[in-house]
Structure 1
Amino acid sequence: MQEPELARFDVVIVGGGLVGCSLAIALSGSGWSIGLIEQHSPELAPPGFDDRNLALSRASLLALQRLQVLPLLDTPPESINTIHVSRAGEPGNVHLSAAEHPVDRFGGVVVARELGHALRRRVQQCTDVAVWSPAKVCSASAGMENVRLQVQRPQGAFTVEARLLLAADGSDSPLRQAMGIDETVHDYAQHLFVSVLQASRAHQQCAWERFTEHGPVALLPMAHDRFGSVMAVASTDAEAVTALSDDAYLALFQQRFGWRAGRFTRVGKRSAYAMRLRVAKQLVAPRFALLGNAAQTLHPIGAQGFNLGLRDALWMAQLLGEQHARQAQADPGDAGMLQRYAAARVEDRQRTLDFSDGMARLFVRQAWPVRVLRAAGMMLLEASPLAKRRLAEQAMGLAGRLPRILQERAQ
C-alpha cells in the first residue's frame, strides 16, 4: 500500500471561509510557509459565503482595504452614516451620526457571498499560501514539535505536518472538539430570518436596530436603496414564519419594525438560522489556536460577529509576524506566542461578548422595572456625548487595544 504524501508547513489554517481567508492574506509575506485547507470546492462556496448582509465596522473596512481585498469586491460597500436604535412601545432612542464624531462613516454593508469571493481572489494572489480545496481534515493530533493532520481529498489521502494549527472551521469546529477544548452554549430560543427588502423611502445610509418583545429586527442599507433585513422570531414560530407568503411576511416585518423606514414593498429570498451563543472556554492549546466562529459565535445584535473574528485574524497575523522577525529559527507554535495571542484577545473578546449578549437578553425582558430602567437608560445615553462616543467606538471596532494595522485611524 502506497504511503500518503507528506506536506510540511510552518502554519496551517483549516477553514477557508471569511476569517480563514482573511488570516491567510494577513499572514502572507510574513516569512512563514502557509497552508490553507478548505473542505468545499471553489465551485461550492463555504456556508459563510451566503446571501446574508454583513455590517463591516470602520475598522474592518480599513483592514480589508490595507489587505487589498476591497478593490476586488463586485459591489462597493454601502456606507453606514447613521445608526438608530429604539425599543418598540417604550420612550427613548439612540441616534448616532458619523458627522458628530467626526468620521466619514461608521462602516459599510456587503453581501457575505461577494466578500467571500473577493477574499478567495485575493488568496489566489498570495503566492506563499498553498491551498487545498476541496480537502477535509479527518484527524488531528498534537505532538511536541508539530501537529499532524490526516487529510482526504478527491485524489486521495495525504498527511500534513504543521508547527502551528489555526482553526477557523466554523461554529461546530471539529478541530476544537478534537483538541479537547470545551465550549459554553446558550440557546436564545430564536431563529433569525434574513432577506433583502425594498421600501418606499430611500435608506439615506441609515442602519436601524429595533428591539421588540419578540426579539430584534434590523435594517442595513444596501446598494440601489434596498435594505438587508434581519428579524428574530421565537424558535417555536419559525416553521410558521417560513411558510408565510411574501405579502404576509412583509406585513409581519412591518408590524414588528414600524413605519420609520417607509412601507416595505418587496422581499427577496428568505433564509433562517437558529441563534445560539457559543464561546470556547480557551483559545489555545499546544500548537493550536481558535479564531472566528470556532472561538465564539455571537448573537447578531450590533453586527459584531465577523468584525470580532477579523480582529482575531489580525492579531494572530501581527504576533506571528513579530515572532518570525524576532529570530531566524523562530517557532510559530511557541507556547509563549500562543499565550500572547490569548492575552491580546481577552479584553476585546469579553467586551464584545458582553455587549452583544447583554443587549440580546436585556431588550426581551418584559418586567415593568426593567422596562422603566431600560427606557431611562436609552434617554440618558442619547443625552450623553461621552457615552455615545464610546458606543460609536464599539460599533466602529475602534475600542480598546488595536492591532497595528488598525492604529492609523483614517478620519
Structure 2
Amino acid sequence: MVETHPAPVHPVLIVGGGLVGASLAIALDRAGVDAALVEATPPASMPAVFDERNLSFAEATVNALTALGVLQKLRAPGGPIREIHVSRAGDFGRVKLAAADYGRDAFGQVVVARDFGEALEARLAELPRLVRYRPARFAGFDGIEDGHRVVRLSGVDGDMRVRAQLVVGADGADSAVRRALGIDAETHDYAQTLFIARLRAARAPDGRAFERLTDTGPTALLPRSDRHYGLVHGVSSEEADAVAALDDAAFLARVQAAFGWRAGRFLSVGPRSRHPARRVVAARCIDTRAVLVGNAAQSLHPIGAQGFNLGLRDALTLAEVIAGAADPGAPGLLERHVARRQDDRTRTLAFSDGLARVTSNPARLLRPLRSLGLLAIDRDSALQAMLAGGAMGYRGDVPALCRGVAA
C-alpha cells in the first residue's frame, strides 16, 4: 500500500471487518450510504473471530440479517431455540421459557461463527460500491480537515491516508480507534475463562437451550442444526490451564458433572478454544466525526448471549440515523444515535453484568434469595415476558430491520 495524493475520501470509513463491522457495511449499502471497510485479514482469509464459537442470534437479529440477505448465504440453516432452561447449581428453582407461549416458533437461532463469517463474506462480495482496504490496520488519526477525519492506515505496502466524514470504530474490545480518540473504558475481569467447543450428547438437540449457572461461570448447551450442541463451559481463571490440559474424556466428565444429565450422556467434544470473560465499557461512544459500535463500545460477559445482538443493534441504528444525510458525521446525527441507543445499551449492560455477578457469587446467604428469584420468575408471566422480550432482542428503541420492518 503506497501513499496516494489526494487521499481517498469516503462518507463512512468502518475500521474492523468482524461480525459487527461487516454487518454495518451491508446495512449502509442497503441504506444507500457509500462506505469503506478496513480489514486486517487479506482476501480469502477470515478474521480470527470467525471460529468455532457458537453465536446465539435473537429473533430481532434473525429478522435483520435476513433482511440484509446474510442468513440466506448460510450453507446450512441455524439451529432454532424454541425453549430456554436456566438453573443454578446448589439453588432450587429454575426458569423455563417457551417461544410458543409468545406466539413464536423460536426465540432465535444458533449459528457457528465460521459459517456466519462465510455468509457475511459472500454478501460483502455482492456490494459493488463497497471499498475494502485489506489487509490494512488503523494506525491513527492525523486531525480533521474540511469536515473529514484524516485516518492513517498501515498495510503490507506501506502507509496511506484516507479521509472520511465519519469514522466507525468496530475493532473490538481492545479498540485502537477508541484509544486514539482518547476515550476511556471501564474494564472488569470476572476471573472466569470460557471454553467453547462442539459437543455431541446421547440426546440430539431438540430446540432447547440450557444455561446451568455455577460459582465459576455458566455451562451452556446451545442447539445447533448439525445434531451437536454448542458448548460454553466457564471455569475460574485460576484453573483454566489445568482444564485446558485435560484430555477429551476428562474434559467431558468435568462438563457432565457441572451440567448434569438433561441432555443424556456426553459422548464427544470437538476442538476447544478458551476466552477470558471481561466487561469493557467505553465512557462515551462518540467523538468529533467518530462513533464506536459493537465490542469497541461495550464488551459483555457472554452469559445470556447478549453481545453480538447488542452490537448489531448499534450498527443498524447508526445506519438508520445517517441514511440520506448529506453529512453522516454531523454532530446532531451522532447525538441522535447515542440517544436512540441509550436505553437498550444501559438495560442490556445492567442485565448481563448483574446476572454474571449474582449467579457466580458463592455467598450462602444469596442462595435462598436466588432460589426465590428463580421461582418468582418461573411463576410470574409479566417477569417471564420481560425476559423473553430481552432474549428476542427487543429492548429500547429497536431498529426497524430488527422488527421486520423495511427500512
Instruction: Specify every segment of 5 or more residues in structure 2 that has no aligned partner in the other structure, as ranges.
Output: none
Deviation of residue 407 (structure 1)? Answer: 2.9
What is aligned with 1:198? 200
Task: Report the count of equivalent residues.
Answer: 403
- The one-character-per-residue Cα deviations of 1:7-33 (angstroms, maximum 9, x if unpaired) are 111110010111001000000043433
Amino acid at match of 2:290: F
Matches within 5 A, 1:1-400: 4-5=4-5, 6-143=7-144, 145-321=147-323, 323-324=324-325, 330-400=326-396
Residue 127 of structure 1: SS of its match in structure 2? coil
Q: In structure 2, how many angstroms separate the alpha carbons of the residues matched to 1:176 and 1:358?
A: 25
Query: How has the CA–CA distance of structure 1 residues 400 and 32 changed in structure 2, closer, same or farther, with 3 Å as cutoff?
Result: closer
Contact 2:152 2:161 in 1 (8 A): yes
Deviation of residue 367 (structure 1)? Answer: 2.2
- Length-normalised TM-score, structure 1: 0.95
Deviation of residue 4 (structure 1)? Answer: 2.9
Taking only aligned residues, the RMSD between alpha carbons, in angstroms, comes to 1.4
Amino acid at match of 2:240: A
Contact 1:184 1:280 in 2 (8 A): yes
Query: How has the CA–CA distance of structure 1 residues 149 and 268 changed in structure 2, closer, same or farther, with 3 Å as cutoff?
Result: same
Q: In structure 1, how many angstroms separate the alpha carbons of the residues matched to 2:33 and 2:405?
A: 28
- The one-character-per-residue Cα deviations of 1:263-306 (angstroms, maximum 9, x if unpaired) are 10101000001111000010000000000011111000010000
What is aligned with 1:327? none
Contact 1:4 1:157 in 2 (8 A): no
Q: In structure 2, how many angstroms separate the alpha carbons of the residues matched to 1:399 and 1:33?
A: 29
Amino acid at match of 2:172: G
Amino acid at match of 2:4: P
Amino acid at match of 1:349: R
Q: In structure 2, how many angstroms separate the alpha carbons of the residues matched to 1:81 and 1:4?
A: 53
Contact 1:58 1:397 in 2 (8 A): yes
Residue 189 of structure 2: SS of its match in structure 1? strand
Deviation of residue 41 (structure 1)? Answer: 1.1
Amino acid at match of 2:162: V
Q: In structure 1, how many angstroms separate the alpha carbons of the residues matched to 2:140 and 2:246?
A: 43
Identity %: 45
Query: How has the CA–CA distance of structure 1 residues 88 and 409 changed in structure 2, closer, same or farther, with 3 Å as cutoff?
Result: farther
Residue 315 of structure 1: SS of its match in structure 2? helix
- The one-character-per-residue Cα deviations of 1:341-392 (angstroms, maximum 9, x if unpaired) are 1111111011111111111000111223211111001001000111111100
- Length-normalised TM-score, structure 2: 0.96
Q: In structure 1, how many angstroms separate the alpha carbons of the residues matched to 2:31 and 2:218?
A: 42
Amino acid at match of 1:129: L
**Which has the larger displacement, 32-41 or 184-193?**
32-41
Instruction: Specify every segment of 5 or more residues in structure 1 that has no aligned partner in the other structure, as ranges.
Output: 325-329
Q: In structure 1, how many angstroms separate the alpha carbons of the residues matched to 2:107 and 2:92?
A: 25
Contact 1:142 1:287 in 2 (8 A): no
Q: In structure 2, how many angstroms separate the alpha carbons of the residues matched to 1:295 and 1:231?
A: 26
Deviation of residue 152 (structure 1)? Answer: 2.2
**Which has the larger displacement, 361-370 or 292-301?**
361-370
Contact 2:341 2:396 in 1 (8 A): no
